[in-house]
Structure 1
Amino acid sequence: MSAAAPAPPPAPDGPLGRPLRRREDRRLLTGAGRFLDDIEAPRALHAAFVRSPHAHARILAVEAAAARALPGVVAVLDGADIARLVAPLRLAPPIEGLHPVEMPPLPRDVARFVGDPVALVLAETRAAAEEAAERVEVEYEPLPAVASLAAAEAPDAPRVDPALPSNRVSRQEFATPGLAAAFARAARVVEARFGQQRQTHAPMEPRGCLAVWDAGREHLTMHVGTQAPHPYRSALAARLGLREWQVTVVAPDMGGGFGQKIVPLREDLACAAAARMLNRPVRWRETRSENLAAALHAREEEVTTRAAVAEDGRLLALACRIRSDFGAWCFFPANYMARVVALILPGPYRVREYGYEVEVFLTNKCPSGPMRAPMAIASWVMEGTMDAIARELGLDPLEVRRRNSITDADLPFTTATGERYDAVSPLATLEAAAAGLGYDGWRARQAAEPRRLLGLGLCTVIESTTYGSAFYKAAGIPGSGHEAAVVRVEPSGAVIASCGLMGSGQGYETTLAQAVAAGLGCAVEEVAVQLGHTDIAPYGMGSRGARGATAGGGALYLAGLRLKAKVLEIAAVLLGRNSADGLDLREGRVVQRTAEGWAPAGPTLAEIARLAHLDPLRLPPGMEPGLHQVLAYDPPAMTYANSTHACAVEIDPETGALSVLRYVVAEDAGRRINPLVVAGQTHGATAMGLSGAMLEHSAYGADGQMLAATFMDYALARADDLPAFELLHHDTPNPRTPAGLKGMAEGGVMGAIGALMNAVNDALARRGARLERQPATPARIWAALQGRSEA
């Protein structure tokens, strides 16, 4: 279905916009959920991995005799064993400046980071597997490690991947034709620097899998917490040399993903290969330390901006340089996250002249991947640049934003990089957040209490939510942005729906049921949503970004609408009418338009479903029996939501301790399917952003040793570290998506990072200090106040 032909909005009394409680919460809160470890598999072997203690080392030998001699140990497999059944991963998309890379299923010759899996132990119990893994002796030859961007780009740096000419795996650049001229005529050129630290996803439930090989059918069933079951299945089958009908992926309840559980990582592939090799089920559950050190990391970037401005603070041009640390191996195209940051960095402002340079480097650290809001740094960079302009020119930061913001009159707005904004409201959310915070009052308080280090931070976010196929095509990235849906009505009137998404805490079973009910016109309570099973759901692209509402909800809504048209055609025949004009289906009952409004017309959805399935000769001539609809929907190239975060903070100058005093979010998420779920997503995303900006750091030493492999060292925000969140809404439906849906699940991360860091720097500016890098820990803040290095 074309993205250019959105469906009409549902009836005013439809289920969209109703704050229904999440139906899945009952089982999850009462301990009745079914997670991976709840799935029984007779004769299952337990897996444990032997991991490299070195950041960079040749693997000379793997000696496993002592491990194999332990009771209960069935096998010890190394990289050569796994390579017999699993093909290497080669990433070579046709993107200029991006070098092709290849990764073996397990390293056979060289380990590239601390935690790199070198061997796999399989035993009858988990305890036996873990003990045996400790008995495996690996002979290493340590090599020099590259543990920072500076080390990676040094002329004599050891190469992380010897197949590359240097550690720079990717470089792209872009500039509008008038960029140089705009800088030449600027009254001022303002420079700013930003650094985001390496973080990790830390889901409540670490990774794991249960691989079951049926030798008779030559069929693999993979029970795994994955956000994208069908792409996961495709990748798994391709790497194992199987047809897709030989692989079934079943995703049980999942305790968080945040981008870490999208593609099959090496442990999953090794377990699947071992199950096939030994013809026994293999299960693996990652430890927390493994997850922190060796799953996926994200976010490590350095950005420099140069802004050409007029004396009144108007932005004439912007140039930025982005350098990203991608870690040791590439599970994704190395330029993907950094390139998106560059594309959307101008955000809510009228930046006509723009240029960027993006460089991505390999280092001897855990590989990187997408993490909730992989473009998270973009909003802080842009909003921090606006603050830098205000400081340079002696202007109020709010006023500088007002002068540069995109307004309703500018829409639709095409950015310098060709992105199209259709229905965004950045100036409205900016004004709402500033008013909600009491911006002028806080500024007056700062002036009246100069001894207190009070700071105000604003951050307006343009959040890219749903990436359509046209975006991937334009970016040279293989893949699709479509989503597929199936809606069927059983003879009793029960409605069963499915799509390619998989939930990891988003409340899909509730919100997607509302989307189906809105399209079809049935009661929400009649809809069951089945997710996470590749033999049941149609092929879809899964849950990533914030595409669930627009792509998944949109596809289900449109499928419901199309199925409703068939129901009403049947109803028209039953009512003796020539057409379905003037009929509708609401709450599962056919209604007809009258002079007074809508009135019941007679048949119910259950009655029509019974006829369609069990008495098909009464259907209109030529109509096929049953009530079922399969539909695929490809959204616009990009869908955007927006929000503004505003916070007030106080810093204790004696200790550097940071307190968030007030926090306001004004957001425009388009039509909200379920306001309760939207609020929960905003709270969770904002909490994640604040936690990352204040505390989290996957730290490494200069030798590449991991320094934060437990929660004693990798700090997460606790409840009492976070403020209450005050939410304001300014809903602008998108005219190019079904029902005006936009998505909004990642903007909270982006806004929180920018608002918090800008507030900290607003407070520090009163002492002539600044933090250019996150996290804003008390130690870093105190060092900045003392004029010392942030490190």
Structure 2
Amino acid sequence: MTADTPFTHIGKPLPRKEDRRFLTGKGRYLDDVAIAGALQVCFVRSPHAHAKINGIDTQVARDLPGVVGVFTGKDLAGWTAPLRLAPPIEGLHPVEMTTLPIDKVRFHGDPVAVVVATDRYVAEDAAELVEVDYDPLPCVADTDTALAADAPLVDDTLPDNLVSHQSFSAGDPAARRADADRVVEARFGLHRHTHVPMETRGCLADWDAGRAHLSMHIGTQAPHPMRGQLAARLGLDETQVTVISPDIGGGFGQKIALYREELTVAALARHLDRPVRWREDRLENLTSASHARETQCVTRASVRSDGRITGLELELTEDFGAYCFYPANYMARVIAMILTGPYKIADYAFDVKVVLTNKCGNGPMRAPMAITSWVMEGTIDAVARDLGLDPVEVRRINALGPDDMPYTMATGEVLEDVTPLETLEAAVAGIDLHDFRERQARARKDGRLLGLGLCTVVESTTYGSQFYKAAGIPGSGHEAAWVRLEPSGVVNASVGLMGSGQGYETPLSQAVAEGLGVAPEAVRIQLGHTDVAPYGMGSRGARGATAGGGTLYLCAQKAQAKVLAIAAGMLNLNDTQGLRLHNGQVERRLEEAWQPTGLSLADVARRAYLDPTALPEGITPGLDVSLTYDPPAMTYSNATHACEVELDPATGKLHIARYLVAEDCGTVLNPLVVKGQQQGAVAMGLSGALLEQVVYDENGQNLSATLADYLVATSCELPNIEIIPMHTPNRKTPAGIKGMAEGGIMGAIGVIAGAVNDALAPLGVTAEQMPLSPQRLRALLRGAGNFKPQTKLSNPSATTHDTTTLGTPGTTDRRTDRA
């Protein structure tokens, strides 16, 4: 299939196969998996953020009827190996943790003991009876405290709380700073989030003592890596562990790692020789599962008077929490490496610090690099404000255009087959910028604050093995697939991914159908079972389409080649030239048209399996084909978001009047699924930017441990999301797939901040910290002084600050939000 040849099945908006079982209540989630006699567990969690464990008294809890046992970190240390992360990365400290804490707890919600009972309610009652003698320690509640010279150590094995520190420089940013017409500084603070999946974490472990084999039922995004971690930590061979993932009610990155609770449940099942299950409640999920984000950035842009950025410097500090389930530099490194994204910036330097604090540990959350586009686009807007220029023109003068491709970024990352300038122009035209500026000027006269944001995103989607090797992180980016045709002609296929709501089964069926030459309805995709699926790296980032769909597409083409070789023999042809499989029928090219041969896929399959002596020479029996594929080091897609808002000066209430995305994510497997992913990502980004926030007090107490405190946007708070498709294929990936799913979050965070600051421009204030809640925006409005709406702006077409129109100073005394 060439780029000029239309696909038959790829790109068709087929309804999701999964929806039938989901909408009729026939989905099979973890709680639907029943094993007779399964015990229930409940974890005892620390009320302190930082404290020594002097002793744990479990006797009263053990005596409660129905309790099978109560176990502590010392017990688990005898059954499991500790987790050690020590990749050979300069500036990254090795870290190690036991399955449960033994000597001290490090955050509010740290699990210190586990109760096993015949009933969940009994287990929870017994957990209340476990007495833990704590000796509270000083709390490290933020990065400033963590980096202080006399800071208490979060991890006593480390010399300080700076767990990772890397610096980089390309070109000569210092020289660019010295030569610049202006150096513009901008600050950005993205707050702590958590994933809030509809289905919280849980697992069901079943140990078969006779076979010495563990079956682990768990909603995981990466079944094979999960199997490997379980086997290693339990001292088992991988053949002794099967991971089975049922339907998953959302993951967003929270269901990748093997967490301590899940390992504990597996160890208990083996120790007790009984099935053991666990389901966390919402409070546990919000306090103890995994958090994300909490990143502070400062940029310094060296610029010419026309807005051209000649050099850029980044300082980034990330609060990683108390424990490292991933290499601590992982997320922050990606932010720094791709920061310059859609712009031509050759002289670039970064300094990245990752810090431990007494909070729940961080991990990847949909778009781990979420802050990237806000930082870059916010820097562009800061340059425009400081120089009194049109922010669109500043973007244009710095943007990468078609003639710049392929473009090697300062960090060595290569951008190709992306269209940042084209999506920018499409978004500007789609939002009708000129009309908006006229409406904005009229609104300001009436005391109304309208704002427009633009955010161009270059999204890293698929990380190949070469990326991990270059980053010094152990692991692979490859994916594996098999396509198996049964003797009846039925098509089964599998890949190492696991869906958690994305709708994989339909687009992956389309990829197989396209490569093989059958209808998508004839393909059954099998996911999430390590004894069935080939060893793959699972679902993370936006690799599902490129790595998963691309590998299946290539594997299906390989299967088709064997089908046609057998068909050629059945038709007494010397080779397969002029043959194809189309909708399950073998056709031959005759007189410039495809003609039926009378052979079906079922005919060929029967020959392959049931009459192998009649196969052509060199063709082996059966139709079972496997293939592995390693994507390029990095694959990118891109988009530009445009957003119009109105801010109520009296209350700080924010209304999103219009939201538009010009998107280029390459060849689209299924536009219905892709549109859902685009809209879902934008919704998640807006929810996080406007409402969601994990809040800790100075003592490390989590104050946002319920859904009454941790607010998530509903359809009532979200706008209609317009999509302008501008897809161009990637020439180095199967079928031209680029991937997408996380860029919508990056764009939403950046564009809403830009829109809010555009609305605030007449008041001389800038929002530098999220979330952009009504309280935060009202505080900014109060700090702005007297707004005089009746005064006309001298240049309503640009987001500059004319001190003659305002009751407060303009660019010489801008006020910012550092809260």
Normalising by the smaller structure, the TM-score range is: over 0.9
Rounded Cα–Cα distance in structure 2 between residues aligned with 1:718 and 1:524: 34
Q: Which residue of 2 aligns with 1:467?
A: 463
Rounded Cα–Cα distance in structure 1 between residues aligned with 2:579 and 2:762: 66
The equivalent position to 1:74 in structure 2, one of 68, 75, 85, is: 68
Amino acid at match of 2:426: A
Q: Which residue of 2 aligns with 1:182?
A: 176
Rounded Cα–Cα distance in structure 2 between residues aligned with 1:583 and 1:185: 65
Maintained 8 Å contact 1:10/1:519: no
Rounded Cα–Cα distance in structure 2 between residues aligned with 1:422 and 1:599: 40
1:598 Cα deviation from its structure 2 partner = 2.5
Matched, 1:737 2:733: yes
Kindly provide the CA deviation profile for residues 357-393 of structure 1, in whole angstroms up to 9, marking residues without a partner as x: 0000000000000000000000000000000011111
Rounded Cα–Cα distance in structure 2 between residues aligned with 1:661 and 1:484: 44
Gaps of 5+ in 1: 1-6
Q: Which residue of 1 aligns with 2:136?
A: 142
Amino acid at match of 1:78: T
The equivalent position to 1:215 in structure 2, one of 192, 205, 209, is: 209
Matched, 1:23 2:17: yes
Q: Which residue of 2 aligns with 1:502?
A: 498
Rounded Cα–Cα distance in structure 2 between residues aligned with 1:80 and 1:409: 62
Kindly provide the CA deviation profile for residues 601-654 of structure 1, in whole angstroms up to 9, marking residues without a partner as x: 331111111111111122111210111111000000000000111000000000
Matched, 1:651 2:637: no
Q: Which residue of 2 aligns with 1:3?
A: none
Matched, 1:445 2:448: no
Q: Which residue of 2 aligns with 1:619?
A: 615
Rounded Cα–Cα distance in structure 2 between residues aligned with 1:590 and 1:391: 64
Rounded Cα–Cα distance in structure 2 between residues aligned with 1:658 and 1:595: 65
Q: Secondary structure at the match of 1:299?
A: strand
Amino acid at match of 1:163: T
Amino acid at match of 1:348: P
Matched, 1:707 2:706: no
1:177 Cα deviation from its structure 2 partner = 3.1
The equivalent position to 1:373 in structure 2, one of 350, 367, 370, is: 367
1:718-733 matches, within 5 Å, as 718-733=714-729
Amino acid at match of 2:657: L
Q: Which residue of 2 aligns with 1:60?
A: 54
Q: Which residue of 2 aligns with 1:639?
A: 635
1:468-617 matches, within 5 Å, as 468-617=464-613
Gaps of 5+ in 2: 785-816
The equivalent position to 1:678 in structure 2, one of 674, 690, 712, is: 674
Q: Which residue of 2 aligns with 1:345?
A: 339
Kindly provide the CA deviation profile for residues 286-314 of structure 1, in whole angstroms up to 9, marking residues without a partner as x: 00010000000000100000001111111
Rounded Cα–Cα distance in structure 2 between residues aligned with 1:268 and 1:695: 30
Amino acid at match of 2:197: P
Rounded Cα–Cα distance in structure 2 between residues aligned with 1:626 and 1:242: 34
Rounded Cα–Cα distance in structure 1 between residues aligned with 2:480 and 2:502: 19
Amino acid at match of 1:501: L
Q: Which residue of 2 aligns with 1:4?
A: none
The equivalent position to 1:45 in structure 2, one of 39, 50, 63, is: 39
Q: Which residue of 1 aligns with 2:87?
A: 93
1:9 Cα deviation from its structure 2 partner = 5.3
Q: Which residue of 1 aligns with 2:191?
A: 197
Amino acid at match of 1:628: D
Maintained 8 Å contact 1:784/1:790: no
The equivalent position to 2:277 in structure 1, one of 273, 283, 296, is: 283
Rounded Cα–Cα distance in structure 2 between residues aligned with 1:168 and 1:765: 37
Kindly provide the CA deviation profile for residues 380-423 of structure 1, in whole angstroms up to 9, marking residues without a partner as x: 00000000011111111111111111111111111000111110
Q: Which residue of 1 aligns with 2:407?
A: 413
Q: Which residue of 2 aligns with 1:689?
A: 685
Maintained 8 Å contact 2:180/2:303: yes
The equivalent position to 1:787 in structure 2, one of 774, 783, 796, is: 783
1:184 Cα deviation from its structure 2 partner = 1.8
Rounded Cα–Cα distance in structure 1 between residues aligned with 2:522 and 2:603: 14
Amino acid at match of 1:567: V
Rounded Cα–Cα distance in structure 2 between residues aligned with 1:133 and 1:200: 25
Matched, 1:303 2:330: no
Rounded Cα–Cα distance in structure 2 between residues aligned with 1:603 and 1:766: 73
Rounded Cα–Cα distance in structure 2 between residues aligned with 1:260 and 1:10: 40
1:81 Cα deviation from its structure 2 partner = 0.6
Amino acid at match of 1:223: H
Maintained 8 Å contact 1:197/1:301: yes
Residues 210 and 331 (structure 1), Cα distance of their counterparts in 2 relative to 1, 3 Å cut: same
Q: Which residue of 1 aligns with 2:813?
A: none
1:125-164 matches, within 5 Å, as 125-164=119-158
Maintained 8 Å contact 1:147/1:701: yes
Maintained 8 Å contact 1:780/1:790: no
Rounded Cα–Cα distance in structure 1 between residues aligned with 2:621 and 2:23: 41
Q: Which residue of 2 aligns with 1:206?
A: 200
Matched, 1:776 2:772: yes
The equivalent position to 1:716 in structure 2, one of 708, 712, 715, is: 712
Maintained 8 Å contact 1:348/1:406: yes
Rounded Cα–Cα distance in structure 1 between residues aligned with 2:343 and 2:369: 17
Q: Secondary structure at the match of 2:116?
A: strand
Rounded Cα–Cα distance in structure 2 between residues aligned with 1:106 and 1:410: 52
Q: Secondary structure at the match of 2:766?
A: coil
Amino acid at match of 1:235: Q
Q: Secondary structure at the match of 2:748?
A: helix
Matched, 1:402 2:365: no
1:790 Cα deviation from its structure 2 partner = 5.7
Q: How many residues align?
A: 785
Q: Secondary structure at the match of 2:783?
A: coil
The equivalent position to 1:323 in structure 2, one of 293, 311, 317, is: 317
Maintained 8 Å contact 2:639/2:664: yes
Q: Secondary structure at the match of 2:512?
A: helix
Q: Which residue of 1 aligns with 2:789?
A: none
Percent identity of equivalent pairs: 62
Between 1:533-542 and 1:12-21, the stretch displaced more is: 12-21
Q: Which residue of 2 aligns with 1:256?
A: 250
Between 1:475-484 and 1:573-582, the stretch displaced more is: 573-582
Maintained 8 Å contact 1:686/1:752: yes
1:575 Cα deviation from its structure 2 partner = 2.1
Maintained 8 Å contact 2:171/2:346: no
Q: Secondary structure at the match of 1:326?
A: strand
RMSD: 1.1
Residues 271 and 335 (structure 1), Cα distance of their counterparts in 2 relative to 1, 3 Å cut: same
Maintained 8 Å contact 2:451/2:756: yes
Matched, 1:765 2:726: no
The equivalent position to 1:392 in structure 2, one of 381, 386, 391, is: 386
Between 1:7-16 and 1:203-212, the stretch displaced more is: 7-16
Amino acid at match of 1:252: P
Q: Secondary structure at the match of 1:269?
A: helix
Amino acid at match of 1:664: L
1:447 Cα deviation from its structure 2 partner = 1.4
1:13 Cα deviation from its structure 2 partner = 4.6
Rounded Cα–Cα distance in structure 2 between residues aligned with 1:222 and 1:298: 26
Maintained 8 Å contact 1:468/1:638: yes
1:178 Cα deviation from its structure 2 partner = 2.3
Q: Which residue of 2 aligns with 1:123?
A: 117
Rounded Cα–Cα distance in structure 2 between residues aligned with 1:606 and 1:200: 49
Rounded Cα–Cα distance in structure 1 between residues aligned with 2:201 and 2:71: 20
Maintained 8 Å contact 1:458/1:644: yes
Kindly provide the CA deviation profile for residues 124-147 of structure 1, in whole angstroms up to 9, marking residues without a partner as x: 000000110011111100000001
